[in-house]
Chains A and B, each alone.
Chain A
């Protein structure tokens, strides 16, 4: 009986009675999950473009980290060493195409997979031959300790309000951006000759925002904020007003971005319009960065410990994902990558060179490996076991789907949070070390229920 109580009931009581500590565990989980995502991302890139599971991704992380540390040990300053290692990874991609992939065109995928296993052993030996096999410390100048923010001099009520407002603002942008109406408005804007104005929906949205913003003045002065102890109504009003401001700003920002884009297009190509979505990216990026920053400060103020190193890792991963998404969606090379993934013959017929694409994919995967190497190497030292984090990426991929970049991110977060929470709350009842196997169990369950993963393409086999 005791066992069942400990497994089924006790953890929930602990979660409910100590929400602050639970928040800390979840945030820790998110941050370490981001690090899994970084590794998984490398797999997804190569799998997407060539349908090959790259067994060597883990060892590429090790190789990148080894090179980085090796260069730094020889007195190269950190930033320069990172650039140099990036170049090494590029050279590696060229070499891999030249020596291995070139001879693998039209081969079965299993053959390519075997080739990546061979590559794994080679890179492992080669890396240690070049840089030595002893355990090394990678110091990138960011302490692996709770973040200290006593210098930030913004009042807590204001901070709370900014956090809520920016979060709501970014949600609003996402909604506006993703809805059908918004897309149609953008399509029309691309063709219409008249300058783009926010449509009726946008105007209503902005008006509502203005109303929210003014509400706080209607209900009297908000002096309650300044004197330390805000009342609940005052907090609510403040939040509402900041939200309103964010709404007005997001509409203004959107129309400004659209108009700018149109003007440039008119200048460049007659009546033709450019891709407009990056206006949204900028708006979303700004607002969500504000939300994240305010959120972090807010969380720390309320007593949650946030590891500065993990925070840095998360920020880096976020930037990497945004850059990759833009690259895949908006450029010729990105388009060619997607084309190759869709149909080899058609891609060849329009003159896309498979070899060129492979070099690019492996180079990008190499750079992602470098990012992962910096993070993981900085966290746990650079040694052979670094290449085994590839095994941690597997459940992430099974969860998120092998073909999806967002899937890699979400999968990593779920596993990161899941294993931290399981370890902390269920660890003692189940005998500890849950962190070691939790991810694999979760992946197993997923394989039974949804084999293509959360975001993966449904596998339809025509017979």
Chain B
């Protein structure tokens, strides 16, 4: 997937982050909608090459956190540092072009388009031919299209969705839609991949497949992954470090084993009689 097709010139700072260094960090981020505080003074970091889980009860602010990272929400306070660049907030376009890809909790695919076209949209930023060349279509623009098709076909092979390449995704079952969405994110060749409940609503077999894909992506393509997930066994198996949110605040941060035995976490999940 690291084909040099239309790759952008290496920007200063890119590649300077070695495995284990901090790729993204949030410092004292607070986000409120009117009176509702979605995030309260949350700080945490994601290191290059790890799988970072974000967990917490419903309404804890997990998805808001992803939305802050990829620029859909703009926090009122705090600093976001990605690849060494400090920002007050992200913008979706900047996030995408800097190498942050994501999937959505409720599958946000382009329903009328085929699997192939959906994943091809992930190549948008890698394709450099201008509007006018595109309008002519034949020539350079078509060559570019074919080159990117190659990348996309490899992703399709990898995710084992070859049989649905031409099917409009609106017609696919939920589990496959989740896979197509992952494919679209992978097509962006991201450095940081945000997965919002990648296994929600899946059966055991589909969960196993998805776990396998996630691990392969991490190992083979050097992609850093942050994921929100409710299935604790999946979280404990997959992730290197876990951050726990409750009512918009961070209550625990550490390895799965540490988090599992943290009292505040047990309290948040199970409730404790006082």
Contacts and interface: CB of A to CB of B under 8 A. Distances in A.
A342 B111 contact: yes
Contacts of A274: 142, 145-146, 149
B150 A272 contact: yes
B113 A338 contact: yes
B85 to A, nearest CB: 17
Nearest to B147: A269
A265 B148 CA distance: 12
A217 interface: no
A78 interface: no
B137 A331 contact: yes
Contacts of B142: 274
A338 B124 contact: no
How many residues of A sit at the interface, in one of the four size bands? 20 to 34
Question: Chain A interface mostly helix, strand, loop or mixed?
Answer: helix
B239 interface: no
B124 A351 contact: yes
A275 B116 CA distance: 11
Contact of A351 (B117, B125, B150): B125
B149 A272 contact: yes
A363 to B, nearest CB: 8
A343 interface: yes
A339 B110 contact: yes
A346 B137 contact: no
Interface string A325-369: 011001111111011001101111111110000001000000000
Contact of B113 (A342, A348, A350): A342
B162 to A, nearest CB: 9
Contacts of B150: 269-270, 272
B264 interface: no
B112 A342 contact: yes
A106 to B, nearest CB: 11
Interface string B127-155: 10101001101000111011101100100
Contacts, number: 110
Contacts of B113: 335, 338-339, 342
A350 B146 contact: no
B166 A187 contact: yes
A94 to B, nearest CB: 12
A360 B131 contact: yes
A430 to B, nearest CB: 42
B23 interface: no
B110 A342 contact: yes
A275 B145 contact: yes
Contacts of B122: 350
Contacts of A334: 134
B255 interface: no
Contacts of A269: 146-147, 149-150
A350 B104 contact: no
Interface string A258-271: 00000011001110
B109 interface: yes
B72 A348 contact: yes
A350 B101 contact: yes
B102 interface: yes
A331 B140 CA distance: 12
A269 B150 CA distance: 7
B36 interface: no
B258 to A, nearest CB: 32
B143 A349 contact: no
A327 B137 contact: yes
B96 interface: yes
Contact of B96 (A268, A327, A350): A350
B165 to A, nearest CB: 8
Contacts of B146: 264-265, 268-269, 272, 274
A350 B181 CA distance: 11
6 contacts: A327-B135, A333-B135, A334-B134, A345-B104, A351-B93, A351-B188
Given A342-B113, A352-B121, 4 more contacts: A269-B150, A332-B129, A335-B113, A335-B117
